[in-house]
Amino acid sequence: MRVLGISGSPRRGGNTDLLLAEVMRGAVSKGAEVKTIILNDLKITPCQHCDACLEAGRCRIDDDMQQVYRELEQADRVVLASPIQFMGPSAQLKLMIDRCQALWARKYVLKRPPLKDRRERKGLFVAAGALKKADLFLPAVTIVKAMFTVTDISYAGELLFPGIDEKRAIAGHPEALSQAFRAGEKLVLDC
């Protein structure tokens, strides 16, 4: 079982990183092989809507997104983690999701599996946001679910933490970190 964690946070060591690390720790505790990608460390160009992917099923932009595509193809489970910014995922995560247009083209135009095979994959969304609004996470969840649908990754759930703003504030909520650990375990055990 291979679990891929993708951090959309621009801030190292913050709430998103702490939560994602606990999810991955939980996955490891159940025997999973894990890898974490920090999107902010990669050089990814925004989608140029050139439509080259409609013919090839591959993005023509040769940048670090090619590594992300490979990791998604190898993963059995995917964890997307992001702070909430203006009620959506971070720019880093949204940029990566937009570049999944090539995977959309594989699936819907070329009628091929978006991640090159049809094995079952599951995905989890982890997010923290400063506001305590009832609909704070709705736009981000909608975007993440759309990305998972396009890539044939079943939505396994979400961990959403409102009222979390300051760097490492989530550390003051041990129940949140325990929930993240248990979610990592469950993601691996739900085969």
Give the domain CATH number at 21. Answer: 3.40.50.360
pLDDT in tens, 119-175: 999 999 999 999 999 899 999 999 999 999 999 999 999 999 999 999 999 999 999
- Distance, CA of 25 to CA of 163 (rounded, Å): 24
Q: What is the pLDDT of residues 57-76, one digit of tens each?
A: 999 999 999 999 999 999 99
Domain count, the chain: 1
> HSE-up of 4 (CA within 13 Å, CB side)?
22
- On whether the pTM is more than 0.85, the answer is yes
Domain that holds residue 184: 2-189
CA distance 11 to 83: 9
**Please, what is the angle between helix 174-189 and helix 15-29, to 10°?**
40
